[in-house]
Amino acid sequence: MSALNGVHTDQPAQDGEVIEASTTEFLAQAQQLDGAPPFGSFVQVATDDGLTILGVVAHVQTSGIDPGARAIMRGHDDVRDDLIYQENPDLPLVLRTTYRALVVGFTEGGSIYQFLPPRPARLHYSVTQCSAAAVKTFTDTGLDYLGALLAGSEVPTDELLAANIRVTASMRGEPQAFLQHAGKELAQLLHTDYGRLTAILKRCVLAQGTYA
């Protein structure tokens, strides 16, 4: 199951592969072009030693595989959108979609921890989207991870928080209760910045009310 900015679909989760990893985040390449998990959703990387690292998708990018090769406009006459891909079947092999996930916690020996893991994710290991059950279990233990999202650098932090809360609320199947819980957690984190708190909460409620 995956969710598109809070909208449930029954499409199977897309797998990716870790291509850069550090203690605080990892970069994954999606198996399919444009096949990244939704912004704000939970993903996980399992390692061989029983450690499973959880992250939240914080940035998605599609560009040329070769860093020196920039995509250029290819549409002409009536050839637009998907027709461009049909006309240039080699494009999916020279373009790629990557996504950056902020590490928000890990599981080890059946226990869940909402702080940074002892080791980063392993390069070339699979990245999968977390199931609804895994998201519920992780968020049931607390919402301390929201602090990690708030501390993320070079990501649209407020948008990321709102997106994660929307996606999580929707996946847990009890949107209103979770929104209230998350709202309280956010209020503690942002008690000195009422304006910012309100702006984030508005994005959660608006999206939830409209789409869920």
Given the rule CB under 8 A, which residues bind other proteins? 66, 69, 72, 74, 86-90, 92-94
Closer Cβ to other proteins, 73 or 195, answer by number: 73
Report the nearest approach of other proteins to the CB of residue 27 (Å): 19
Q: Closest distance between other proteins and the C-beta of residue 72, in Å?
A: 7
Q: How far is the CB of 93 from other proteins (least distance, A)?
A: 5
Query: Which residue's CB is nearer to other proteins, number 7 or number 83?
Result: 83
What CA–CA distance (Å, rounded) separates 107 from 129? 15
Q: Whole-number minimum distance, CB 94 to other proteins, in Å?
A: 7
Look up residue 73 and give its amino acid: M
Q: Which is nearer to other proteins, 83 or 155 (CB)?
A: 83
Closest approach of other proteins to the CB of residue 88, in Å = 6
Gap between the Cα atoms of 212 and 7, Å rounded? 6
**Residue 74 or 119 having the CB closest to other proteins:** 74
Pick left, alpha or beta for residue 50 (phi over 0 → left; psi -120 to 50 → alpha; otherwise beta). left
Q: Which is nearer to other proteins, 4 or 84 (CB)?
A: 84
The amino acid that residue 158 corresponds to is D
Cα–Cα distance measured from residue 137 to residue 69, given in angstroms and rounded to the nearest whole number:
43
User: Nearest distance from residue 120's CB to other proteins, in Å?
Assistant: 23
Contacts from 48-51 at CB under 8 Å and sequence distance 24+?
48/122, 50/108, 50/109, 51/106, 51/107, 51/108, 51/117, 51/118, 51/119
Task: Return the number of the residue (94 or 187) whose C-beta is nearest other proteins.
Answer: 94
Listed in sequence order, the residues at least 6 apart from 159 whose beta carbon sits closer than 8 Å to its beta carbon are 39, 203
d(Cα 105, Cα 20) in Å, to the nearest integer?
Answer: 18
Phi, psi (5° rounding) for residue 131? -70, 165
